[in-house]
Amino acid sequence: MPSMHRAGRRPGLPCLPFLLVVVIVAAVACGGGQGLPGKTPDEKAIAAAELGINGADENIPVLLHAVETEPELVQTSAIVALGRIGTPAAVEALGKLSNHEARRIRLAVAQALQDVLPEAYPEAAKVLVEMGKHCLPRGPGKDPDREIRRAVVTSLAVVQQPIGLDYLLDRLRNDYDENVRNTAVKTLGRLKDPRAVDVLIDVFHTDNTHNQAWAIESLGEIGDPRAIPTVKEALDIDVTYDAIVRGKAAWALMQLAGKDAIPVLEEALAKEPDDMAAVRMAHALAKLGVKEAIPVLEDRLLHAEREFARAEAARALKEVGRKESFAVVDRAFREDRSGLVKKEAGQAALALIRKYHLEPGKQEAGSGEESR
């Protein structure tokens, strides 16, 4: 997520001893040649990686020089380092490489731009949009830059800037590549721009079920009431045959309509045969204050056939569970054979203990069969 992006940097090449770092920095500062220290490409790649320090604009010239003069391994390491420096100046340097004749250089640039500092996101988005315009398919069977286009859309999903909207809408309408369309549809929800609503509605009616589901989720995130009829349509079991779509539609309708969604969700839940979709519907209802939905979550936690539905029920109870839910999640934690369910049930139990000031050694009277 963008807000957590800096804390979660991907690890680079192994760190060098402090002395070698000092040598690298000294070599750059002294300007005794713009080259990286090291005799082999591996050594120079490690040296380039060590220069990828947040905000270290002084390291940009030597990294650009490495891209111009060194072999592929070092070039890639230098581009990654520019992304990790992450300042507007580093983005400017990456922009100079964005039209490089070597496709692998352009791909590395597109990938590095998702790693820049948040204050450089606007400039990174401008570079990405221009790159995207130059890596479109050139005709049937002629798409040499498809991987670059995928990287551009993925990086736009990270930087999440309004300038990327038109390009993302165009790719969602016109790209044959499902990965590109899928990333675009997810990003449009995060941008929350109402201009995407009509295109997302069209995706629901024309694209595959995977992208239909994400289009519905994005419509919920945008929050434009124009999407309500389409989301209700997606919720209808007689119209939508994919349970994932129906589950996402339940959540989207809650976001779009608030308490006005309750009658529709209750009717849908009464008809829903799929455990996962039923859990999502019950969770949405519980969030809207319908307490009668909580026993549905408790029942699915104990009895749903698929572990993912049981785990999802536990996650929901962690948020909306009542005091009596503790006995249910405790039983699931003790008896369920799925490690995933045990983990989620354990976290739910701890949350309920804190919320209701329960004594961990005591089971509260619960619903269903948990106290037999």
Which tokens in the block code for residue 270?
Answer: 């009464």
Task: Give the burial string for 63-72 (b: 16+ CB within 10 Å, else e).
Answer: bbebbeebee
**What angle do helix axes 41-50 and 72-85 make, rounded to 10 degrees?**
0
Q: What is the dihedral of CA 58, 59, 62, 66, to 10 degrees?
A: -150
Q: What is the DSSP string of 197-224?
A: HHHHHHHHHHS-HHHHHHHHHHHHHH--
- Side chain identity at 320, as an amino acid letter? V
pLDDT for the residue 139: 84
Please give the structure tokens belonging to residue 338: 């799925």
State which fold the 194-289 domain adopts.
Leucine-rich Repeat Variant (1.25.10)
228-235 and 262-271 helices, crossing angle to 10°: 20
Residue with tokens 């993925």: 154
Tokens of 196: 């995407």
Whole-prediction pTM: 0.81
Q: Rounded to an integer, what distance in angstroms lies between the CA atom of residue 322 and that of residue 363?
A: 13
Do the Cβ atoms of 341 and 360 come closer than 8 Å?
Answer: no
CATH, domain range 1-134+146-158: 1.25.10.10
CATH fold match for the domains 1-134+146-158 and 194-289? yes
Query: The dihedral of CA 330, 332, 334, 339: what is its sign?
Result: negative
Q: b/e per residue, 138-166, with b = 16+ CB within 10 A?
A: eeeeebebbbbbbbbbbbbbbbbbeebbe
Domain boundaries, the chain: 1-134+146-158, 194-289
Q: Return the DSSP state at 17.
A: P
User: What was the pLDDT predicted at 34?
Assistant: 66
H or E stretch covering 334: helix 325-335
Residue 361, pLDDT score: 65
- Each residue's pLDDT tens digit in the chain (372 positions)? 444 444 444 444 444 444 444 445 544 443 445 689 999 999 999 999 999 999 999 999 999 999 999 999 999 999 999 999 999 999 999 999 999 999 999 999 999 999 999 999 999 999 999 999 999 998 888 999 999 999 999 999 999 999 999 999 999 999 999 999 999 999 999 999 999 999 999 999 999 999 999 999 999 999 999 999 999 999 999 888 899 999 999 999 999 999 999 999 999 999 999 999 999 999 999 999 999 999 999 999 999 999 999 999 999 999 999 999 999 999 999 999 999 999 999 999 999 999 999 986 655 444 444 433
Q: Which residues are within 8 A (CB) of 27 and not within 5 positions of it... i.e. 6 or more apart?
A: 33, 36, 37
Structure tokens of 359? Answer: 């004594």
Neighbours of 34 (CB within 10 A): 15
Site of tokens 């569970």:
321
CB-based contact 203:215 (threshold 8 Å)? yes
Two structure tokens written together for 302: 């104990």
